[in-house]
Amino acid sequence: MKPVLYPRISLVLISLVLLTFLLGCGSSPPSALSYNFKQGLADVTMRLLPQAPPEKIYPSSSFKIMAELDNQLAYDLTEGTVSIVGLDQQYFQVIPLQQTIPVLLGRSFTAPSGEKTMVEFDGTAQYLIDNAKEYVGNYFLTLRYNSNVDFSDSICINPNLYDVYDAGCKVQPQKSYSGQGAPVAVTKLEEIITPGAAVEFRLTVANRGRGKVNSLTLGAARLGSQEMTCLFGGTAGNSRTITWPKEKQEVPIICRAILKDQSSYTTTIAVDFTYSYERVEQQKLRMVR
């Protein structure tokens, strides 16, 4: 009598299924756990929902203005406000004129898509005057918030620029960057070494978003494990907090550190700062008979 082969066949089938699963896992795209959200440019998007407000509003009727905020930054939005500015209350009364958003989470491996929220304003149309058939009222939807930016990179430090026997790393005098996951970004880094003494870094911070920067404050700055001294330079005012200069898209930051090692080595530079940002979008309400 021949032996029964069912158990052996089942074992082979199970092995094939497991192998297929493992191969499939190995070819899957990178997950959010391995993705660097703090790169490139990002912003908070703001849009009005369809029919909120409606295209036509009739006298003595109620309506809603509903705006969706989508935080695509790689950082949390804090102390946010959405305001309605410039609306003629003779024709449209809106309550409240400002809504508060305490925190809106940014993109991270725990929230790869960022966080969204809705703000809602209740409106009442008044009356058309002087036998007018319609009235169009323009207003501004204004978003203000605070957030932060973290900048870091690997660099080469070589205190002995003229030592031909040093076969270590090679200094890059200037590097460029696309952004760190926010509308405010470090876009350029210059490294200037005083041989055997100190190193100076000149960072360029730019507003690359659709709004405006109101203020900028420097936080921690480190060269490896060593603390650096950083200040805003140029016309920005040699301080750690500035009001962003009008008509300027860039401001300089100057960081300095004393060199403790006399041979070349690779290390990291890290600088973070907080900022206050503002976005303004023009909208309109139309009242008809």
CATH number at residue 61: 2.60.40.10
- Phi, psi at 24, each rounded to 5°: -65, -40
Q: Is residue 166 domain-resident?
A: yes
| Burial of 274 from C-beta contacts in 10 A (0-12 / 13-18 / 19+) | middle
In the 8-state DSSP scheme, what is residue 52?
B
Domain count, the chain: 2
Range of the domain at 242: 148-275
> What pLDDT score was predicted for residue 264?
86
* Same domain as 208, residue 156: yes
Helix then strand then coil, in percent of the chain rounded to 5, is: 10, 55, 40
Q: Is residue 36 domain-resident?
A: no
In the 8-state DSSP scheme, what is residue 164?
T
**CA atoms of 37 and 105, how far apart (whole Å):** 13
* Same domain as 171, residue 129: no
* Same domain as 169, residue 52: no
* Same domain as 132, residue 86: yes
* Same domain as 225, residue 121: no
* Same domain as 156, residue 134: no
By DSSP bridging, strand 229-232 and strand 250-258 are antiparallel
* Same domain as 157, residue 140: no
Q: What is the mean pLDDT of each run of 10 residues along the chain (289 residues)?
A: 43 45 47 79 95 97 97 97 96 96 94 96 95 95 97 91 66 95 97 88 96 95 94 71 88 92 89 96 96
Task: Say which residue the tokens 């790169």 belong to.
Answer: 39
Q: Is residue 6 domain-resident?
A: no
Q: Is residue 31 domain-resident?
A: no
Q: Is residue 96 domain-resident?
A: yes
pTM summary value: 0.83
> What pLDDT score was predicted for residue 258?
92
Q: Is residue 171 domain-resident?
A: yes
* Same domain as 108, residue 182: no
Q: Is residue 111 domain-resident?
A: yes
Q: How far is C-alpha 232 from the chain's CA centre?
A: 21
* Same domain as 212, residue 122: no
* Same domain as 74, residue 60: yes
* Same domain as 180, residue 90: no
Q: Is residue 104 domain-resident?
A: yes
* Same domain as 192, residue 51: no
Nearest CA-CA partner of 198 in 256, 143, 125: 256
**CA atoms of 273 and 199, how far apart (whole Å):** 21
**CA atoms of 125 and 153, how far apart (whole Å):** 55
CATH number of 223's domain: 2.60.40
- The residues that bridge with 97 in the sheet, in sequence order, are none
